Amino acid sequence: MQRMTSGFLNGMIGVIIFSGSLPATKVAVQTFDPVFLTVARAALAGILGVALLVLHKEKRPELTSLLSLVIVALGVVVGFPLLTALALQHVTSAHSIVFIGLLPLVTAIFGVVRGGERPKPAFWLFSLIGSSVVAGFAFSQGLVASPIGDGLMLAAVIVCGLGYAEGAKLSRELGGWQVISWALALSLPLMLVLTLVNWPATLANVELPAWISLAYVSLFSMLIGFVFWYRGLARGGIASVGQLQLLQPFFGLALAATLLNEAVTLSMVLVTVAVIGCVAAARRFA
């Protein structure tokens, strides 16, 4: 019970940190090229990840862990950041955030496929209800859809769910911060080269909000958030703790309202309450 509680606490901290990722990315892509933003954030986080590994004198993972680390890197270091950055050129921050409500279901599916978990049928029921509530909320807001933006966000959710599940499975062996640090370290050489190749012609027009956003997605979204998130998934269960992601759209929308002046409505509050109920019920049957 204590391990489960610890898992949910760590998972919630991770979700709160991740909630700022899309609003921060939206601010950043107004100035930075999406490809440069993706590789630069991965390079900065990778340097910090390598520093952590060296500082703690971590042993290199076994070769059997290499494939899992590659999947994590492709999913959460490169895939999700790049696809969301590209999507945010076509859709609003609010629209993209709502797609995150599909992540719990995708993560749970990959938790079964890759993590060997077997949630009860009732879990899938409440997970589907929660995802449907979030999707229904998106349509009720009359958010203008872009086929390109929506396709990119859907692809981002799929690769992210795979990266979450794979990283959580590996965290049971290596530890949460070690997994994301090794994935970042594995990606670092290529990310450094691509950062230099995609370096902007000038940085003179980059204002403070863009720099702050780049710092946030590099430090918090790419590293610190995963320390808590992978620890939470490993301790509390991929499918169970993964349901906390149903709350991420609403944390994100609240931040978007604060940072981007988007409205917070009564329906948002009501849907949040309904989603919390689905999270609690899904946790019980996971």
- Tokens describing residue 212: 């702050």
The pLDDT > 90 percentage for the chain reads: 35
Exposed/middle/buried for 12, CB within 10 Å: 0-12, 13-18, 19+? middle
Q: What integer pLDDT is reported at residue 39 of this predicted model?
A: 95
Where residue 268 falls among pLDDT bands split at 50, 70, 90?
low
Q: What integer pLDDT is reported at residue 248 of this predicted model?
A: 78
> What are the boundaries of each domain within the chain?
2-285
| Residue that is written with structure tokens 């949910």 in the block | 8
Task: Give per-residue pLDDT as tens, 230-264.
Answer: 888 888 887 778 778 777 777 877 777 776 666 66
Between the CA of residue 145 and those of 111, 114, 174, what are the distances in Å? 30, 32, 41
Where residue 138 falls among pLDDT bands split at 50, 70, 90?
low
Mean pLDDT over 106-112 rounds to 82
**Long-range contacts for 265-274 (Cβ within 8 Å, ≥24 apart)?**
265/141, 267/137, 267/140, 267/141, 268/137, 271/133, 271/134, 271/136, 271/137, 272/247, 274/133
User: In this model, does residue 285 exceed pLDDT 70?
Assistant: no
d(CA 87, CA 93): 9
103 or 273: which leads in pLDDT: 103
User: In this model, does residue 123 exceed pLDDT 80?
Assistant: no
Where residue 115 falls among pLDDT bands split at 50, 70, 90?
low
Q: What integer pLDDT is reported at residue 283 of this predicted model?
A: 64
165 or 142: which leads in pLDDT: 165
